C-alpha cells in the first residue's frame, strides 16, 4: 500500500438503525467469561441469554420485514462461556461451558424448532472451557482452551489431535491465523504465544504482552505475520498493540485508548483492515484502519527503534528485517450507542449489503436488544458494485479436512466475489454431524425419553440443567414467563410437561406511599462489614449505624414516619465501630450490638423510643479475642445469642447469666454466615474455606457434618428452608457469578441438590426466607433488583417469580415480621429499603380477584415468633420447645376456601340462529335499522323546532 495514498475507507461512517430495526424482546446474560457473548453466521445469531447454560437464537435476516422470533437453545448444565459458528457450515454451532464440555449443534433452517440434542459432545476436559474457535481452512477442526491447555479437536472423530500445554496461567484468548498454519494465544501470565500445532505442542515464540493481567485479546491480521492485541497497561489504561512475529521481541506500536475498566472486545476485518473496539459495559465504539500490509495507527506512542531478538546459543543467525513503517493513518470514526455493550460480533462479509456500500456490520448486544451497526463508505452512485471496496473474500467451501490438515495439507480456501450477480449460491453441509439422525430426532412422533433429556438434550430436564455435582436445578430461569423469549410450540408443550409453576409467579412489589417513608436520614454508615445486613428492624423500630465516630446508632420509630429534623437525633453511643446488630425477637426493646472491640453490648430502648442519648449498655459480653463477624438470637428460646468471630470460634451466650455457655470449634478461615434451624436444635455455618458445617451445639463443639460450599471466597450467606429440612446457600462461583445452592440438611456431604446461577455482581446475595409461603427473596447491597423464587422440596426445587426492581441502588434491604403485612391487600411480605437518605417500606402482594375474602391458601397459620417456647437455661439443659401458631385472618373476613361457588354463566345460542339463511332484503333491513338506532329516532323533532320566535312589534 502506498503510504501517501489516501485510504478509501477514511470517510467510513457508522450508521445506527432506528429502533424498529433493532432485534428486541431479549434478555442478555451477565456472563463473566473471555468470549464475545454474541456470534453470527450468514443464517443465525447466537447470544448468551440470562439463564445459565442457555443461548438465545435469532435469524440474521428477517423475511418480508416481519418480526424476528427469538428462540432459546438449552446447551449445557452450567454457564456457556464461549461459542463459535463454523466458517463453512452456517448451521453448525460449537458451544463451550463451565461444565467442562464442548458441544456441537446443527441449527435448523428458519421456521423450524431448535434441536433437542447436541450432535456430539467433546470432553469433559480438565476444567471449564474458556475459549474456542473453528479452524479457518479445514472443516471439522476446533481449538478449545480450558485452564492452561489448548486442545485441537478432530470434531468428526471426537478425538483430540494435540494439546498445547506451554501456558503458565489461565488462557484469555486464542486465534487462528487465516491461512490455518499458526495459532496465537494470550494468557493471564501476561504473555503472548505463537504455536505451530502440527510441528510441536510447545510455543514457537512467546513475548511479554500487556503489563496487566486483566482480560486481554489477540487477533491475527488476516494471513499476514502481524497481530493485534488488546489489554491493559500497568496503569490500568486500555491499550492496543500491534506485533510482527518476524520481530516479536517488542510491539511495533502501542496505542493508549482510555482508563475505562471494561475489557475491550476487538473485531478485525482483514479484507478492509478495519478494527472495531468496544468496551464491556460502555456505549462507545472505536473504529481504526490497520491494513495488514502496513499495520499502523496514529494515536498513542510508538517504538521507532529497531527491535533485535536476543542471541540464543546454537541458533541460526536471524535475517536483518527492515523497521516497520511509521504510522500514517488516522482513526476512522467513533460511534456512541444508546445501550451499554454486553457483547459484540461481526456479520460475515457474504451477508453484507454491498449495494449500499456497507463494508462492515457489527452486532451490539445490550441488556434488552441486538443493535446492528453498519459501517458505510459514502459514494455518489449506490446502483453500481464498487470493486475497490469489496475485494474477493473467503468462500464457504473448506480447503481440506481435519485428517488431511493434520497430515500437512495447507491448501487455502477459495475466494469468491461479493458481486450479487457473481456470488456463489451453493452451500456446504459439514459431515461431522449426520443430518438424518438429527432430523429424525426432531420430527419423530414420540416425545423424547427421560434418557434423551438427560443425555445432552437441548430442552433439558431439571436434572440435566444442574451443575456437574448436583442433581437438579430450575428450568424456570430459562423458560419462565419473564425470560423474554418467544417459545416455540415444542417448548410450550415441554413447559406443560415439566411444570409446576409457582403460585407466586405474578408477585408484585411496590414502594408504599411517601407518607410512610422516613426521610432526611443523615450521616448513615454505608461501610458496614459484608457479614452485616447494614441495619436491622423489628415491627416497632429500626436501628441504623451512623458514620460518626464511637459507633453511634440511630433508633427510629416506624410509627412516626416523615422527615427527620435537621438537628441531631438521640442515638446509642456504642463506644466501638459496629460490626453487626440484631433485635431480640422476644423483647422489642432489647438490641444486641457486636463491636469491632470484641465485645457484645446489650442495650435497652425505653418504651416509645429514644428521647436522649444512651451511653451505658445494660450488659457487656466478653470472651472473643478478635473482631466479631455476626450475631443471631435463638428463634425459640429466650436469652440465647450466638456470635462468630475472627478468632475462628462460634460462641453461644446465656444472656440471663451474662456469660458464655458454649463454644464451637472447627473453622479454619473467616466465617461468612451462621443460621439457627427453625426448631433451634442445630446451627449451620458457611466460611471462606469453602465449607458448610452443621453443629448440634448441645451435643458436641465439633461439626456433625461438613460439605463443600460455594467456590468463590468473596462472601456467602445461608438460611434454612422447607421446614428446616434443607439449607439454601448464596455465594459465588470461581468466575464471580452469584448463585444459590440447595442442600439436604440430613445429607450435606452428598453435595448440593440444585445450583442456580443468577447474575454477575460484586455484592453478596442476602437471602430472606418466608416460611409460610416458601418464597426466598435475594438481593445485595448496592443492587437494584430483588430476586424471588419459591423453594420446593422436590424437583425442580426453584420456581421463578417476578422480581422487584427499584430505580436506584439500595444500601440495605431488611424484611419485617409477618404480622405487619396487610392481608386485605393480599400482602405476604414487607421489607424496608434503605436508600441514600430515605427508608422506604416495600410491600409484596399477590394479585387476586376476590380480595374481599381472606386468602387462606397464602396465609396458613403463622408461628407466634414473639413468644418464646422455653427459657434459655431450659434449652441449655437439653429441653426443646415448639412455638404455637395463630391465624392472620381478621374477624370480619371469610376464608376464600369457604366462599360460595359461583357457577359460570353460559350463554346458549340455538344452532338455528347460525343455520338460518337470510335473504338480501332482510340483511339490508337489519343494517338500516342498526344505522338508524345509532343516529337516533327519525320522528324526533329537530332542535330548531323547539326555538321560540319573537313578536312582530319587536322587529321595529
Which residue numbers in the chain have pLDDT < 50?
1-2, 295-324, 326-329, 435-498, 956
The Cα 98–Cα 737 span in angstroms is 11
Predicted TM-score (pTM) of the model is: 0.52
Question: Order of strands across the sheet with 44-48?
Answer: 38-40, 44-48, 54-59, 71-74
Give the residues across from 15 on adjacent strands.
Answer: 374
254 vs 251: CA distance, rounded Å: 7
Q: What is the chain's length?
A: 956
- Distance between start and end Cα atoms, the chain: 102
Torsion (CA) 649, 654, 659, 660 in degrees, nearest 10: -20
Rounded to whole angstroms, how far apart are CA atoms 835 and 522?
Answer: 11
Residues 6+ apart with CB under 8 A from 77: 53, 97, 99, 460, 464, 465, 466, 467, 468, 473
CA 864, CA 699: separation in Å to the nearest integer? 27
Q: What are phi and psi of 874, to 5 degrees?
A: -65, -40
* Cell numbers given for 815: 424484611
Residue 500 CB: number of other CB atoms within 10 A?
11
Question: What letter would DSSP give residue 820?
Answer: G
Phi, psi of 849 (to 5 degrees): -80, -50
- Looking at residue 761, what is its pLDDT? 86
Residue 905, pLDDT score: 57
Cell numbers linked to 362: 457489527
| Of 196, 102, 204, 222, the residue nearest 154 (C-alpha) | 102
For residues 860 and 889, what is the distance between their CA atoms, to the nearest angstrom?
A: 9
Residue 257 to residue 253: CA distance in whole angstroms: 13
Contacts of 823 (CB under 8 A, 6+ apart): 854, 855, 859, 888, 889, 890, 893
Q: What is the pLDDT of residue 36?
A: 87
CA distance 873 to 102: 59
User: For the CA atoms of 453, 457, 458, 461, what is the dihedral angle to 10 degrees?
Assistant: 30
- State the pLDDT at residue 937: 53
**152: its cell numbers:** 485441537
What is residue 66's predicted lDDT score, i.e. its pLDDT? 65
Amino acid at each position: 500500500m502506498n503510504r501517501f495514498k489516501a485510504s478509501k475507507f477514511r470517510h467510513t461512517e457508522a450508521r445506527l438503525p432506528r429502533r424498529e430495526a433493532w432485534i428486541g424482546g431479549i434478555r442478555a446474560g451477565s456472563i463473566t467469561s473471555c468470549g464475545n457473548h454474541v456470534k453470527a453466521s450468514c443464517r443465525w445469531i447466537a447470544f448468551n441469554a440470562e439463564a445459565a447454560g442457555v443461548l438465545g437464537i435469532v435469524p440474521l435476516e428477517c423475511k418480508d420485514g416481519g418480526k424476528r422470533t427469538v428462540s432459546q437453545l438449552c446447551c449445557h448444565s452450567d454457564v456457556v462461556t464461549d461459542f463459535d459458528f463454523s466458517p463453512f457450515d452456517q448451521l453448525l454451532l460449537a458451544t463451550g461451558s463451565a461444565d467442562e464440555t464442548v458441544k456441537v449443534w446443527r441449527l435448523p433452517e428458519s421456521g423450524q424448532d431448535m434441536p433437542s440434542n447436541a450432535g456430539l459432545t467433546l470432553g469433559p476436559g480438565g476444567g471449564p472451557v474458556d475459549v474456542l474457535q473453528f479452524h479457518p481452512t479445514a472443516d471439522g477442526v476446533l481449538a478449545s482452551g480450558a485452564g492452561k491447555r489448548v486442545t485441537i479437536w478432530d470434531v468428526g472423530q471426537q478425538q483430540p489431535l494435540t494439546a498445547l500445554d506451554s501456558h503458565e496461567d489461565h488462557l484469555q484468548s486464542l486465534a487462528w491465523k487465516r491461512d490455518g498454519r499458526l495459532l496465537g494465544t494470550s494468557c493471564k501470565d501476561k504473555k503472548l504465544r505463537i504455536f505451530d500445532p502440527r510441528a510441536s505442542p510447545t510455543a514457537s515464540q512467546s513475548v511479554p504482552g500487556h503489563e496487566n493481567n486483566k482480560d486481554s485479546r489477540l487477533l491475527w491480521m488476516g494471513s499476514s505475520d502481524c497481530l493485534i492485541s488488546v489489554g491493559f497497561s500497568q496503569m490500568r489504561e486500555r491499550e492496543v498493540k500491534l506485533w510482527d512475529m518476524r520481530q516479536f521481541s517488542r510491539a511495533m506500536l502501542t496505542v493508549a485508548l482510555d482508563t475505562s475498566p471494561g475489557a475491550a472486545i476487538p473485531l478485525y476485518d482483514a479484507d478492509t483492515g478495519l478494527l472495531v473496539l468496544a468496551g464491556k459495559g460502555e456505549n462507545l465504539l472505536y473504529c481504526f484502519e490497520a491494513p495488514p500490509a502496513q499495520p499502523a495507527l496514529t494515536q498513542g506512542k510508538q517504538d521507532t527503534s529497531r527491535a533485535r531478538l536476543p542471541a540464543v546459543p546454537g541458533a541460526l543467525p536471524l535475517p536483518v528485517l527492515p523497521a516497520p513503517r511509521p504510522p500514517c493513518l488516522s482513526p476512522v470514526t467513533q460511534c456512541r450507542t444508546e445501550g451499554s455493550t454486553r457483547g459484540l460480533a461481526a456479520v460475515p462479509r457474504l451477508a453484507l449489503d454491498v449495494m449500499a456500500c456497507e463494508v462492515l456490520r457489527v452486532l451490539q448486544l445490550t441488556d434488552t436488544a441486538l443493535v446492528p451497526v453498519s459501517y458505510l463508505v459514502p459514494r455518489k452512485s449506490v446502483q453500481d458494485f464498487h470493486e475497490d471496496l469489496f475485494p474477493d473474500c473467503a468462500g464457504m467451501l473448506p480447503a481440506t479436512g481435519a485428517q488431511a490438515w493434520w497430515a500437512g495439507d495447507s491448501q487455502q480456501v477459495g475466494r469468491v466475489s461479493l458481486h450479487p450477480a457473481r456470488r456463489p449460491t451453493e452451500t456446504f453441509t459439514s459431515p461431522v454431524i449426520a443430518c438424518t439422525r438429527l432430523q429424525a430426532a426432531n420430527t419423530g412422533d414420540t416425545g423424547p425419553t427421560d434418557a434423551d433429556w438427560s443425555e445432552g438434550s437441548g430442552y433439558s430436564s431439571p436434572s440435566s440443567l444442574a451443575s456437574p455435582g448436583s442433581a437438579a436445578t430450575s428450568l424456570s430461569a430459562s423458560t419462565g414467563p419473564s425470560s423474554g423469549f418467544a417459545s416455540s410450540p415444542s417448548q410450550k408443550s415441554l413447559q406443560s410437561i415439566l411444570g409446576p409453576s409457582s403460585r407466586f409467579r405474578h408477585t408484585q412489589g411496590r414502594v408504599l406511599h411517601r407518607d410512610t417513608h422516613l426521610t432526611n436520614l443523615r450521616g448513615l454508615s454505608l461501610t458496614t462489614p459484608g457479614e452485616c445486613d447494614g441495619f436491622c428492624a423489628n415491627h416497632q423500630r429500626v436501628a441504623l449505624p451512623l458514620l460518626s465516630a464511637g459507633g453511634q446508632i440511630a433508633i427510629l420509630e416506624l410509627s412516626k414516619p416523615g422527615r427527620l429534623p435537621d438537628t441531631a437525633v438521640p442515638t446509642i453511643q456504642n463506644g466501638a465501630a459496629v460490626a453487626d446488630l440484631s433485635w431480640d425477637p422476644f423483647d422489642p426493646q432489647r438490641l444486641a450490638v457486636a463491636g469491632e472491640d470484641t465485645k457484645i453490648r446489650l442495650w435497652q430502648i425505653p418504651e416509645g423510643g429514644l428521647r436522649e442519648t444512651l451511653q451505658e449498655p445494660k450488659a457487656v459480653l466478653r470472651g472473643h479475642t478478635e473482631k466479631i463477624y455476626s450475631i443471631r438470637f435463638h428463634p425459640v428460646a429466650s436469652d440465647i445469642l450466638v456470635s462468630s468471630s475472627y478468632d475462628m470460634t462460634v460462641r453461644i451466650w446465656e444472656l440471663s447469666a451474662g456469660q458464655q455457655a458454649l463454644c464451637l470449634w472447627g473453622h479454619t478461615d473467616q466465617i461468612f454466615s451462621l443460621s439457627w434451624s427453625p426448631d433451634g436444635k442445630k446451627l449451620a455455618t458457611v466460611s471462606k474455606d469453602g465449607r458448610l458445617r452443621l453443629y448440634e451445639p448441645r451435643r458436641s463443639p465439633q461439626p456433625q457434618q461438613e460439605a463443600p460450599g460455594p467456590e468463590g471466597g468473596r462472601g456467602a450467606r445461608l438460611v434454612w428452608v422447607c421446614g428446616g429440612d434443607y439449607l439454601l446457600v448464596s455465594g459465588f462461583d470461581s468466575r464471580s457469578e452469584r448463585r444459590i445452592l440447595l442442600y439436604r440438611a440430613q445429607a450435606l456431604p452428598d453435595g448440593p441438590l440444585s445450583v442456580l446461577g443468577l447474575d454477575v455482581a460484586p455484592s453478596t446475595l442476602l437471602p430472606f426466607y418466608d416460611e409460610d409461603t416458601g418464597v426466598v427473596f435475594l438481593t445485595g447491597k448496592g443492587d437494584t433488583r430483588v430476586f424471588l423464587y419459591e423453594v420446593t422440596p422436590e424437583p425442580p426445587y426453584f420456581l421463578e417469580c417476578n422480581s422487584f426492581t427499584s430505580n436506584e441502588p439500595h444500601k440495605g434491604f431488611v424484611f419485617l415480621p409477618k404480622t405487619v403485612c396487610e392481608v386485605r391487600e393480599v400482602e405476604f411480605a414487607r421489607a424496608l429499603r434503605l436508600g441514600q437518605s430515605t427508608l422506604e417500606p416495600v410491600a409484596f402482594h399477590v394479585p387476586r380477584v376476590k380480595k374481599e375474602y381472606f386468602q387462606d391458601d397464602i396465609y396458613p397459620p403463622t408461628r407466634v415468633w414473639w413468644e418464646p417456647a422455653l427459657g434459655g437455661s431450659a434449652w441449655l439443659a437439653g429441653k426443646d420447645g415448639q412455638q404455637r401458631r395463630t391465624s392472620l385472618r381478621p374477624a370480619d373476613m371469610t376464608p376464600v376456601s369457604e366462599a360460595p361457588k359461583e357457577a359460570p354463566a353460559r350463554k346458549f345460542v340455538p344452532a338455528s340462529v347460525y343455520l338460518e339463511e337470510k335473504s338480501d332484503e332482510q340483511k339490508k333491513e337489519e343494517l338500516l335499522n342498526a344505522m338508524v338506532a345509532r343516529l337516533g329516532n327519525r320522528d324526533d323533532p329537530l332542535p330548531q323546532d323547539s326555538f321560540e320566535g319573537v313578536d312582530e312589534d319587536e322587529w321595529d
